[in-house]
Copies of this chain bind each other. A is one copy, B any other.
């Protein structure tokens, strides 16, 4: 039951969201190697798994309705991403999410296309009722999930700051965190707000780069009870690695290979020393 998970969360001290807490979360991710079940889109599957592996987590793409619920009770975290939906993959998600909630497994919702595409907008609304630990999307998707606009395909047509009130409202409803990606990433749990301005423009020129960050947030949610800390640690690590990669690459192709290298090489002390909060 979600209640168990909430109760546990209340009993544990909430970390301050400073550089040390982010670095400590990153350290725990690398040490514990959480098993992350990914129900994600066809475009981002391989990159998401590779990001998890580079970070030290263990991905498992178990998404058939025949196994998804069973496995959600064994995984350390679950990622649900609504890109490239099929009837069967949506049934898999409909099995995995209650399985995660029942087991107290944290889960991340990435509502690709919410607001802009009717079918999956309805699915995203239904999933909201299961109170995702973290919601991750671009500004248009977060606005769409809150009942507003919706973007143009996978790209946002809104700025992240414009989605912050909706993000706070959604976080209030779910009891989790909401992360709005953009030039400056805006993250909130309804009360606290974290702004992170790292990253590189080539992140928007690599397909599935945002989806893979959602997978990394799921991995971090397995090693801290604070959803905002999980979302912020994943964002900080990913966007700091992207800064390094952007500075040493020639274009988006060499950038994505380098991003995996730099995530792999990112030590907790580098994260603590470089992140600007």
Contact = CB atoms under 8 A, between A and B. Distances in A.
A74 B155 CA distance: 14
B252 A265 contact: no
Interface in A1-39: 35, 37
B261 A54 contact: no
Interface residues of A, number: 62
A162 interface: no
Interface stretch (A180-188, A189-197, A201-209): A201-209
B117 A67 contact: yes
Interface in A58-73: 58-64, 66-67, 70-71
A52 B108 CA distance: 28
A53 B117 contact: no
Interface stretch (A81-89, A99-107, A124-132, A137-145): A81-89
A95 interface: no
Interface stretch (A43-51, A170-178, A267-275): A43-51
B43 A118 contact: no
Contact of A84 (B61, B87, B118, B252): B61
B50 A154 contact: no
Interface in A219-236: none
A75 B249 CA distance: 31
A117 B71 contact: yes
B251 A54 contact: yes
Contact of A153 (B60, B70, B206, B260): B60
A259 interface: yes
A44 to B, nearest CB: 8
Contact of A85 (B45, B64, B256, B261): B64
A206 B35 CA distance: 15
Nearest to A117: B67
B118 A58 contact: no
9 contacts: A35-B153, A59-B153, A64-B85, A66-B118, A67-B118, A71-B117, A87-B88, A251-B260, A254-B258
A276 interface: no
A60 to B, nearest CB: 3
A198 interface: no
A222 to B, nearest CB: 13
A64 B258 contact: no
A254 B254 CA distance: 8
